[in-house]
Amino acid sequence: MPQTGRSGCPINLTLEQLGDRWSLIVIRDVMFGNRRTYGELLAQSEEGIASNILADRLKRLTAAGLLTRRPDPRHRQKGIYSLTEAAIELVPLLAHMGAWGRRHLRPSRELSVRAELLEKGGPPLWNAFMDELRHLHLGAPRPPRSVFSELQAAYEKALARRPAGS
């Protein structure tokens, strides 16, 4: 009954969808970096994702119902990717991943500022952020608070402290 995979355990099913080195990176960049096109995702990738892997993941994530793709009216060949509700509900997961990585691995100072804010804000902040993502990606009404700007501002402030690159 649990379709095709290895087992019907929810953790295993999540791992079968997202348990690779790139899927969540792509979602993270769309979500926190607001990268909405193939070119943005490729060029501004902090980790340097390869073009074929990016194309593959965009296809898989779209097929899995985590992203949608609609053509850009101004540039016909361009596609604009949006998060679905299912992907937006990964916010708590990504927040926890950031918090765990921040505590147990050795993150760079600038890049962990957002994770720190998300951890300190907790579920209320996550919910506000999810509402904002529903506005940005699903056309829901604009919420009063822009967590996105807060995260971005904190990141840029941290960047300014260390003007010379990583």
Binding site for a copy of itself (CB under 8 A): 1-3, 6-17, 19-21, 24-25, 28, 46-48, 65, 86, 89-90, 92-94, 96-108, 110-112, 115, 166
Nearer to DNA by C-beta: 17 or 37? Answer: 37
Q: Which of 76, 106, 120, 161 binds DNA (CB under 7 A)?
A: 76
CA distance 25 to 125: 21
- Give burial (CB, 10 Å; 0-12/13-18/19+) of 157: exposed
Nearer to DNA by C-beta: 136 or 147? Answer: 136
Q: Which residues of 40-74 are buried (b: 16+ CB within 10 A; e: fewer)?
A: ebbeebeeebeeebbeebbebbeeeebbbeeeeee
Least distance to DNA, CB of residue 20, Å? 4
- What is the DSSP-derived secondary structure letter of residue 112? G
Least distance to a copy of itself, CB of residue 14, Å? 4
Check: CB of residue 91 under 8 Å from CB of residue 77. no
Q: From the list a copy of itself, DNA, none, pick the one residue 58 interacts with, judged by a Cβ distance below 5 to 8 Å according to partner type.
A: DNA
Q: Is 9 in the site for DNA (CB under 7 A)?
A: no
Q: Which residues bind DNA (CB under 7 A)?
A: 20-22, 37-39, 42, 48-53, 55-56, 58-59, 69, 74-79
